[in-house]
Amino acid sequence: MSRIGKLPITLPAGVNVTVGDDNVITLKGPKGELKQQINPNMKVSVDKGVLTVERPDDEKENRAMHGLYRSLLNNMVIGVSEGFRKELELVGVGYRVSNNGQVLELSLGYTHSIFLQLPEEIKVETKMERNKNPLILLESCDKQLLGQVCAKIRSFRKPEPYKGKGIKFVGEQLRRKSGKTAGK
């Protein structure tokens, strides 16, 4: 058995699960609603507030999907009950960020500003304080979508190892390199 796949998922109060005809799992909670299509081989059952994923046999493909779908469903349960939050920090002289609704405006040292339209499922907030790096606060119930948006924002100016400039997660430790003058 998969160590992750066989773990049961306890459903918090306020989270409702429905298993559709075509293997679509729908979770509703206080933070939102999420749907996930699962493989027809996997069997999902809900009993007394506990969600379990079972596989039919020990074929290699079924063993691989067992833990995957259990992890996806667990992330969905956490998302609709508590939600996920990511904080990005802009490190660099003159780097600025602001938002107008769901449109994020980034000034990252290029000749132009970058405008990014965010999905409706993500709540965005920006903070610009004096003598502190600008922050982007993102919240969502969908962990996959949140990670994808963070990766897209980060790709505009990845943190570089010499000066540490770029867009990084708050609390992320960057591997710093010494410049060519350090070798002499």
Domain shared by 71 and 109, yes or no: no
pLDDT band for position 6 (cuts 50, 70, 90): confident
Identify the domain containing residue 76 by its residue range: 9-81
Domain shared by 101 and 26, yes or no: no
Domain shared by 174 and 143, yes or no: yes
Convert the pLDDT of each residue in 69-95 to its tens digit: 999 999 999 999 999 999 999 999 999
Domain shared by 99 and 68, yes or no: no
Final residue of a structural domain among 81, 100, 134: 81
The tally of domains found in the chain comes to: 2
Helix ranges (H only) for the chain are: 60-81, 143-155
**Tokens linked to 55:** 């596989």
Residue 167 belongs to a domain: yes
For 95-103, what is the mean pLDDT?
A: 94
Other C-beta atoms closer than 10 Å to the C-beta of 80 total: 24
**Tokens linked to 135:** 């922050």
Domain shared by 60 and 27, yes or no: yes
Residue 68: burial class (beta carbons within 10 Å; 0-12, 13-18, 19+): middle
pLDDT band for position 183 (cuts 50, 70, 90): low
| CATH number of residue 64's parent domain | 3.90.930.12
Domain shared by 74 and 93, yes or no: no
C-alpha 108, offset from chain centre: 23
Domain shared by 94 and 28, yes or no: no
Q: Is the pTM of this model over 0.85?
A: yes
Residues 6+ apart with CB under 8 A from 131: none
Domain shared by 131 and 108, yes or no: yes
Residue 2 belongs to a domain: no
